[in-house]
Chain A
């Protein structure tokens, strides 16, 4: 695979998740009738924290007996999931504006930090490599462009829907993205040796290989894993049920009011 294509896929994979999340949160703001200015400070904070995290990665890697990267990444995944559950409730029940804005900001910052830091580390690795620098930078730019465009497309599509349908779509997409993060969080803890290894729940590698383009895109957005362990699947189902149940309860109580 050429360096340009490798850079394109790597950066696209990292940008896509944050871009899609931003597209969903942008529409959430519209549905909640809130200003969308929160994106600017959240983007700035996400960028700054990502830079700090990238700079400190060597130190972080040594924390907790070498499991620092995994623990922090898993915590960042959790920092997306929990506010998404709160936002799910807020889709149908009134929440204070500042809580909604804080939750949206936290989701975007947490999603940006891990992905942003990896892009910075990757691109930074080739700054002094004249042979491949232009290919890597071009690929990274194209990948970032496709990722951002995808987020805009998601946002534009949701913007064409009637508010009732948009609410359902935004809620379901947020739940799927956040539950996927919990599935990946378990994989990280397994990698760090912090959870007991469990056997494969199923193997979908033959039907949709994880390293195929579609597999990688689904991994980036929904945390797709072709061979999840039983523990991963269990955590995914529980996470999905909690988030979906919260939205369902909020919707039901609105109907009964």
Chain B
């Protein structure tokens, strides 16, 4: 009985996590640049990033501070979640074109 309750609780927790509505923000990659390069998001809130690659070549969104890395193919799009973040700045970059593709998430 206890095991069943624990399983049910785990399932409910999992479903609630999946169903959680989160604010969504979009970043574009164009000419190996992130647009916008500075993205303001609410602090202490989980947010969803939609990254749209307008270039023909792939890019990898990467951030050590956000602990995120994900490839977006040329002309493709990806989604990923960040946060809840403490107020502060969290740089990110494109691993395939790190000289130009740079940006920062500002949590306020």
Contact = CB atoms under 8 A, between A and B. Distances in A.
Interface of A: 1, 3, 6, 10, 57-58, 61, 65-67, 69-70, 118, 121-122, 124-126, 129, 187, 190-197, 209-211, 225-227
A211 B76 contact: no
Contacts, number: 72
Contacts of A225: 67
A202 to B, nearest CB: 13
B18 A121 contact: no
A27 B37 CA distance: 48
Nearest to B57: A125
A125 B79 contact: no
B84 interface: yes
A66 B79 contact: yes
Contacts of A125: 57-58, 74, 96
19 contacts: A6-B95, A6-B98, A66-B79, A67-B79, A122-B60, A125-B74, A125-B96, A191-B80, A193-B80, A193-B81, A194-B18, A196-B13, A196-B17, A197-B84, A210-B64, A211-B64, A225-B67, A226-B64, A227-B67
Given A6-B98, A193-B18, A196-B13, A61 B84 contact: no
B71 interface: yes
B50 to A, nearest CB: 8
B99 A1 contact: yes
Nearest to A68: B78
Contact of B71 (A67, A69, A209): A69
Interface residues on B, range: 20 to 34
Contact of B58 (A121, A196, A211): A121
B98 A1 contact: yes
A27 to B, nearest CB: 30
B101 to A, nearest CB: 11
B102 to A, nearest CB: 11
Contacts of B48: 193
Contacts of B41: none
A190 B67 CA distance: 10
B27 to A, nearest CB: 14
Contacts of A124: 58
A150 B64 CA distance: 25
A191 B68 contact: yes
B81 A192 contact: yes
A73 to B, nearest CB: 9
B73 interface: yes
Contacts of A57: 71, 73
A58 B76 contact: yes
Contacts of B99: 1, 3
Interface in B49-67: 57-58, 60, 64, 67
